[in-house]
Amino acid sequence: MSRVRARFGAALVVAAVLAGALGGCGAKQGGGTEGGQADKEPYRIGAVVSLTGTYAGLGVPEKKAIELQRDAVNASGGINGHPVEVIFEDDATDPAKAAAAATKLIDQDGVLAIIGATGTAQTMAMRSEVQRAGVPQVSMAGGSVITDQLDPMVFQTPWPNRIVVPFVLKAIAGKGLAKVALISDSGGYGKDGHAIIAKEAPAAGITIVADETFNPGDTDMSSQLTKIRAAKPDAVLMWNAGKEAALIAKGMKQLGMTQPLFGGPGNGRKEFIQGAGDGAEGFRFAAGKILVPSAYGTDTEAYRVATEFIDSYTQKYGEPPDIFAGHAYDAFLIVVDALKRVEGEPTPAKLRDAIEQTKGLVGVGGTFSYSPTDHNGLTESELVLYRVENGAWVLDTQ
């Protein structure tokens, strides 16, 4: 039953995406459409994204992906005749502003659910508000803490650090690199990853020979990198999701460091490659399969879903989506799929229950199956290792 439901749900949304691509911009900004279902009240969804601040490189494609799908769903008739309205709030990569945005979306706008935030700390800052109001939240951030500390109201679309970190450590060890220098940021995602790396490294046969940190927004990494160079590591492991990553890669190049650089999905974005220049060459990181879709297997449902999203996004915005757009695609897909399964008039409580009942839903980041004890539902099988080569992502099979 679950697989049939999953494929049916995915097919509906994919059909909507196609309808949007073929039908052009039939939806009005903010929700209602120009034809068909305008008489029914819109279903309101909030979205808290980082459009400014150090996570702007993540939040901007997330917003684009949600807008693309919103327009596609509305162009194909909405949900049971109701258009979908998405109210965006920019948290400026600031946890306090994320919490304030959640309060506004709940108390003033009356949303049924909130997608977001972009970052781990911002997501956690919203938790008390969604708990207070009983409004479900689907986060697009990768910190393990988001779903390790299970909250009935909070769900997550990315691969959490508890899955990604062991995958990356095994990849490093598999290349015969045993002494690793770690550099991570002091933000929520970096701290979350740092704790898991420290815990999992010994089991992977890796010794951390240097451990440096920086703050989001820092513009000079020379002190940390000089200490790392002195420790003579076999490799450097960088864990953050902000624009500072480019400074690290560029700084290693300037200091003449030739150790291979590894990282997580937080840096699977063009902003990093463009900012680091030659320093990005050879950077290896783990992420889902959207960057090289053939990794899904060209005869799979996941490949079909991903490539249709990639084509529609590229047609709309003139560039292919990155993994963060994929997280937003999945978050919107999960909410819309659940809304379609709610019986009667949707309420936040009914929608929460429907989201938790999601089974086998094929998205871009993986196949989602939630339960009362698992609000992430992804596994290591959704990950592959990439390498930056000639300014582009390639699968790393070396």
Q: What angle do CA 376, 314, 341 make, to 5 degrees?
A: 40
Could you tell me the sign of the dihedral formed by the alpha carbons of 18, 22, 27, 33, in that order? Answer: negative
Beta carbons of 116 and 49 less than 8 angstroms apart: yes
Angle between helices 323-341 and 56-75 (to 10 degrees): 40
Q: What pLDDT is stored for residue 237 in this prediction? A: 98
Walk across the sheet containing 179-185 and list its strands.
207-214, 179-185, 235-239, 261-263, 284-287, 384-389, 392-395
Q: Which residues of the chain have pLDDT under 70?
A: 1-38, 398
Strands (E), the chain: 43-49, 84-90, 113-116, 137-139, 154-156, 179-185, 207-214, 235-239, 261-263, 284-287, 361-362, 367-368, 384-389, 392-395
Dmax (CA) of the chain: 68
Distance CA 6, CA 243 (A): 36
Distance CA 66, CA 27 (A): 13
DSSP 100-117: HHHHHHHHTS--SEEEE-
The type of residue at 264 is G
Q: What pLDDT is stored for residue 398 in this prediction? A: 66
CA distance readout (Å), 261 to 162, 257, 346: 20, 10, 48
Q: What pLDDT is stored for residue 239 in this prediction? A: 96
* Pairing of the two strands 154-156 and 207-214: unpaired
pLDDT digits (tens, 9 = 90+) for 278-314: 999 999 999 999 999 999 999 999 999 999 999 999 9
How far is Cα of residue 125 from the mean position of the Cα atoms in its chain?
A: 17
Beta carbons of 326 and 383 less than 8 angstroms apart: no
Q: What pLDDT is stored for residue 31 in this prediction? A: 36
Which residues, other chains included, contact 8 with Cβ-Cβ below 8 Å and sequence gap of 6+? none
Q: What pLDDT is stored for residue 241 in this prediction? A: 87
Beta carbons of 29 and 85 less than 8 angstroms apart: no
Distance CA 192, CA 199 (A): 11
Q: What pLDDT is stored for residue 269 in this prediction? A: 83
Which residues, other chains included, contact 39 with Cβ-Cβ below 8 Å and sequence gap of 6+? none
pLDDT digits (tens, 9 = 90+) for 1-59: 333 344 334 444 444 443 433 333 333 333 333 334 457 899 999 999 999 998 999 99
Could you tell me the sign of the dihedral formed by the alpha carbons of 40, 66, 55, 131, in that order? Answer: positive
Which residues, other chains included, contact 119 with Cβ-Cβ below 8 Å and sequence gap of 6+? 50, 55, 58, 91, 93, 95, 98, 141, 187, 188, 189, 241
